[in-house]
Structure 1
Amino acid sequence: MFIGKKVKLRGLKMEDVEPAYQYMCDPEVLLNISPGIPYPMTLEREKQWFESQIAMKDTYNFAIEDIETGLYIGGCGINKVDWKNRVATVGIYIGDKDFRGKGYGTEAMKLLIDFIFNEMNINRIQLFVFSFNERAIRSYKKVGFIEEGILKQSVFRNGRYYDEIVMSILKENYVR
């Protein structure tokens, strides 16, 4: 468990499945987390995803919990690890609307970065974000990510194409 001022990152629990399912049906969450067709999650698929995480290697998923209320408000994790090159690819979402835009995701990302650099001995953390997700881009920049590249018109949303931005942070540039 990794604890900040607003949030703590903890392992996933079975009781997180129901709120995660609700969050995955939120149109804003769906539009921002995957380049695929934004199709609502079913409770059965969410349970299957949760159960699949037990057997996964090289992925580390955390629940984001509000310290004050104990509520599960979202998730973050390492989606892929390249051990040879010491690169981790990460993702995050805040599912509870009441906690968006208030620094919870920024703090959760800081905790995740600390874990990756200090416990996993990773050199580079990267992520991909859609150009229309300005709130997330601002948050990533606050914790030290820089824009490295743009995948032009790589995602189709609401009748038009958008860019996908590649961002990264190196261990040597990270300031706690």
Structure 2
Amino acid sequence: MFKVGHVYRRFTLASGKKVTLRVLRWEDLDGLLMFINSLVNEKQGDKKSTLYTGFDRKVTREEEVEWLAQTLVAIEGESVINMVADINGKIIANGDVTRGRYKDTHHHGHIGLTMISKYRGQGIGRRMIETLVRESRRAGLRTLDAEFLADNETARRAYERAGFKQAGIIPHKVFRNGRYFDGLIMAREL
């Protein structure tokens, strides 16, 4: 497994912006805090937001310190494969694969990915998913699943392109803005 700060890949968007996909590092604390709180603003300000669960309130610096410390320990302990996308040092996306906790699920991982809205639909998420799939295979995982809002077509397309298939629907999983949304589970073998 890769260590903190390792660069997975670099690429250039059609706009000319250069993206680096890399593992989190301690120095990302302030950037992560801005990232997570921008997602909170998005979810609170856009009733049609396709962000999944969480992002209900602003995160304090102390909370982010605790989360980052736990995540870095999990990366070093090889229970999490992590990746951020950064453009000119600004974190615009965060993704990870969490390995199953138990002996009989240790071969399985759950993949999650979140991105600032203005960067969605430009191929960053697809590249992150492809890289996380590759690194999951390298880490010895055999299967992956992802879960997100069923009407998040951008996420669905990105996961389908990476070989994921629909595995199930959880009716009314999320209640937001006075209505229910289904959760979609997609999965694939590696």
Normalized against structure 2, the TM-score is what?
Answer: 0.76
Could you report, residue by residue, the CA deviation over 1:16-51 in whole angstroms, capped at 9, with x for unpaired residues? 222222222223368655535722222221122111
Q: Given that residues 80 and 90 in structure 1 are in contact (C-alpha distance below 8 angstroms), is that contact kept between their aligned partners in structure 2?
A: no
Tell me what 2:30 maps to.
18
% same residue: 23
String of CA shifts for 1:58-97, please: whole Å, max 9, x gaps: 123222234xx454321111134255341110101123x4
Q: What is the total number of aligned residue pairs between the two structures?
A: 167
Give the Cα separation in 2 of the matches to 1:14 and 1:62: 13
Give the whole-Å Cα distance in 1 for the aligned partners of 2:149 and 2:71. 25
Instruction: Write out per-residue CA displacement over residues 98-148 of structure 1, whole angstroms, 9 at most, x where no aligned residue.
Output: 42211111111111111111x112111101111232221121112221111
Name stretches of at least 5 consecutive residues in structure 1 with no aligned partner.
Answer: 172-176
Distance 2:56 2:84 in 1: 22
**Please, which of 163, 169, 174 is the counterpart of residue 188 of structure 2?**
169
Does the C-alpha gap of structure 1 residues 51 and 37 become closer, same or farther in structure 2, counting only changes over 3 Å?
Answer: closer
Q: Specify the alignment match of 1:174 in structure 2.
A: none
1:1-176 to 2 correspondences below 5 Å: 1-6=7-12, 7-25=19-37, 26=39, 27-28=41-42, 32=50, 34-36=52-54, 38-56=56-74, 57=77, 58-66=79-87, 69-81=88-100, 84-85=104-105, 86-95=107-116, 97-117=117-137, 119-171=138-190
Change over 3 Å in CA distance of 1:37–1:114 after alignment to 2:
closer
CA 1:126–1:70: 2 relative to 1, 3 Å: same
**Is the CA contact (8 Å cut-off) linking 1:9 and 1:65 kept in structure 2?**
yes
Structure 2 unaligned runs (5+)?
1-6, 13-18
Whether contact under 8 Å (2:29, 2:64) holds in the other structure is yes
Given residue 61 of structure 1, which amino acid in structure 2 is its aligned partner?
Answer: N
Q: TM-score of the superposition, structure 1-length normalised? A: 0.81
**C-alpha contact (below 8 Å) 2:21/2:84 kept by paired residues:** yes
